[in-house]
Chain A
Amino acid sequence: MARKILCVAEKPAIARAVATHMSGGSFQTHSVRGNQYVKNYEFEFNFGAPWGSCSVTMTSVIGHLTGLDFERQYRGWQSCPPGALFEAPVKEEVDEKKMPIAENIRNQARYSKALFIWTDCDREGEHIGTEVRTQAMSGNARIEVRRAKFSNTERAHVLRAAREPITLDEFQANAVAARIELDLRIGAAFTRLQTLQLQQVAEILKEKVISYGSCQFPTLGFVVDRYLRVQNFKPETFWGIKVMLQREGIKVNFLWRRVHLFDRAAVTMMLERCLSAKQAKVTKVNQKPKSKWRPLPLTTVDLQMMGSRYLRMDSQKVMKVAEALYTKGFISYPRTETDQFDKAIDLKKLVEKQYPDGRWGQYARELLDGKFRTPRSGRHNDQAHPPIHPVSWVNPSQLNSDEKKVYEFVARRFLACCSEDAKGQGTDIEIQYGEEMFHASGLIVLERNYLDVYVYDKWESSQNLPNFEKGERFEPTEANIFEGKTTAPGYLTEPELIGLMDANGIGTDATMAEHIAKIKEREYVVVNERGSGRSKVSELIPTKLGTALVEGYDNVVADLPNSISLSKPFLRKEMELRMLEICAGSKTRQEVVQQSLDMYREVFIHTQRRIAMLKTACRKYLVPE
């Protein structure tokens, strides 16, 4: 009998897609006892040397197989002081619901020569891979373990991954193990502490679990920070000078270099000195080509930001839809930080695949007829996945309406990346009037290029400017003072929040959407829709509880110079950086867990000592007077 190889993917849909490609479409499906989603697909496949032709069982897990939890005696809310959870023994166990899946892997491994791990190629995927390995080896200690490296489920790519397996990345798996342990200990310790303490404070908290998460809280912190800035904002009047010249039937408005000042008397004096100079002098006439750059290759963060901005979906939704498109083989893996295409990717072939499309097929054709440009390269490369791009064309009738939108965005973005920048001619005119400088600028868009396909960007010609010559003098038609008021920033929107999390190192691109969803689910934040139609914005507003928690934690550390509030991103950011060190092999899992626990334990001790401050803040917002 031929050798047998066991393949295990991260999700049933991936198992099916990979099985379809490897088997050429003919495989036998067997159900797995105890789980209705996971199936075993059996077929023959020639792996090439050294394995040759083998019989294959392709199956899957559903995400993580195991969970980490405290030993039983520490699980009750009152079982130990919350602080003890920083040290309490923990153990990794297969989730009850996942037992049949684990058993299936053990059984299948028994008869297999080798295990090929087909979990997603990212940190979580490496860790899930180790969980699968553990099960397989407990069924068959001598099984050989390999890992398939793939970033989309397009046929040729899958076949190559099957024939060129690599090994699991233990560093990445360890980083996830560290993260899981830290999230458990820190999350449980603070959640128990604050829940037990705060439940007593207000009637509405009595039955509530007030959960803490080291990503959720800084995420909440951003929302509260912006909310308070909007609430506290005080508008102020400013004054400025505007100069207008009517020439060749065109009103040219010159803008003041100082923009505006907050001192009326000074502005009045400055205007008077302009007027008494009578004539303005043209000091600069600059004609220069301007361009609007084609976008960078698409990353997860960008997809989420753009998605919630242009596609009217929240980031979690966008990711879900993108995930579905990936599983069906239409786009590449949607969790990536990479914004540069590898030279080995045949981009033109990917462009060609878009020919059949009724909306941008013609554009794709024109690209390959000579307009193709090598995409710009960004500065990020996660060394695991290419930027998000379409891997095959799909007839829109096969997609639901959300999938259509996301696929269209990914396809248009990809074509835009492979296009020429938009080109224009810019004119800048600078004048000196008295001692003050003013400027006017104009733009003529000459070639739209990528803008034709990337409908999400706007760049339009301005009004035409009349001719000016350097050194010429003229008397402005009007010069006036204008008055205005500063305006408060807007409440935080989801794309902004993703941007802030990214910029401040909170969460990974893959988990940001989850953290945002979490703080909504926990009722720390609500979404407020403002405006209607195209100008509709979804703003994130903290609830009273959300505001109280942030204020409380800020107060806890307010006068401790070296302590950092849990509502601020730094502690989590440091933890994320340490994860990267594990991935790079420069720190061990144990070192990182200890260091990070020490860091959070310090805040925990402060919080415990000054719990009254947390309570006061909750009382202030949640207890009716």
Chain B
Amino acid sequence: MASAEQIAAQIQNKKSLAVSSTWLNNFLSTSGSAQRNIPASAIINTAIFRVLASDFRESLSTTPASLLPVDIHDPNVQERRLVGPIPVQVLDIEDIGTSLWSQVEAIERVERGEAVRGREIVRTVNVGDDNEGENGQSSSNFAGNTSGSRGAGPHRLILQDAAGTKTVGIEMQAIEDLSIEKVPIGGKILLHNATVARGMVLLDPQCVSLLGGKIDALNGPWKENRKAWLLQRVSQVQNE
């Protein structure tokens, strides 16, 4: 039987997250673990799973060092550094290397069942340009129409800390497993020694640890509404 302190220490140790005592007590009373003879490791795993599925605003205890500066979005600040570590949760993720419209087209291909193996339709062919050896990447001006460039990135994320402060993060160098398919809404990230420039957190493999998790209540609706939202954005940018 693990004590509250032991659980908190383990969560701190394994995920660098400081859970609040309110959350911890609530966890212990609802998980019913106190009564039964459950191994400590199982309880700790459950606790970690729950904290990653929680809303950080309700589950973490905060110190000034574990929070984003409240004026983080200030575009007048050219550069500053966040030592952290700062736990944040993903509220939105977008691929800014791909046009909104081609993302809509990609979703529609899935809706039509064309993402299933054997049901793909080839939609583009190169007519007569197939014989270049060692060719330099032809940088076509045609970008944004390229089909199936999944998880191309870079990604722009909206991140939120335990106090509810939000910021934009830009994936400056490709981060493995950071993609729309793999990072759900409410997914948890730890920032350490991150640079902030003009109100944007610069994300790279050194300053980002993906902790996993998601918030079902946010992720479901986000996924459902994504196409509608993309379409709405597309019509917005038409008028800009």
Contact = CB atoms under 8 A, between A and B. Distances in A.
Interface in B56-108: 75, 78, 96-102, 105
Interface in B109-154: 113, 118-119, 121-128, 131-136, 139, 141-145, 154
Contact of B122 (A261, A503, A561): A503
A148 B58 CA distance: 84
23 contacts: A234-B100, A234-B101, A234-B235, A236-B99, A236-B144, A237-B237, A238-B99, A261-B154, A262-B98, A263-B96, A268-B198, A272-B78, A289-B134, A291-B134, A292-B133, A293-B131, A309-B127, A441-B136, A456-B128, A496-B127, A502-B125, A503-B125, A564-B119
A234 B143 contact: no
B51 interface: no
A238 B124 CA distance: 23
Given A236-B237, A261-B154, A294 B136 contact: no
Contacts of A270: 172
B74 to A, nearest CB: 13
A229 interface: yes
A486 B144 contact: yes
Looking at chain B's contact residues, the main secondary structure is loop
Contacts of A564: 119
A309 B125 CA distance: 14
A568 B173 CA distance: 40
B13 interface: no
B131 A229 contact: no
Contacts of A288: 134
B189 interface: no
Interface residues of B, number: 46
Contact of B141 (A236, A273, A484): A484
A306 B97 contact: no
**Residue among B102, B128, B132 having the largest count of chain A Cβ atoms under 10 Å:** B128
Nearest to B145: A489
Interface in A469-499: 484, 486-489, 493, 495-496, 499
B141 A272 contact: no
Nearest to A558: B112
Nearest to A296: B131
Interface string B181-213: 000000000000000011010000000000000
A293 B100 CA distance: 37
Interface stretch (A252-260, A362-370, A385-393, A593-601): A252-260
Contact of A500 (B125, B134, B172): B125
Nearest to A221: B121
A305 B127 contact: yes
A269 B136 contact: no
Given A236-B144, A265-B200, A292 B131 contact: yes
Contact of B121 (A233, A238, A258, A504): A504
Contacts of B100: 234, 236, 262
Contacts of A263: 96, 156, 170
B238 interface: yes
A500 B198 contact: no
A421 B133 contact: yes
B97 A428 contact: no
A328 interface: no
Contact of A261 (B96, B105, B200): B96
**Residue among B102, B105, B127, B132 having the largest count of chain A Cβ atoms under 10 Å:** B127
Nearest to A308: B127
A435 B173 contact: yes
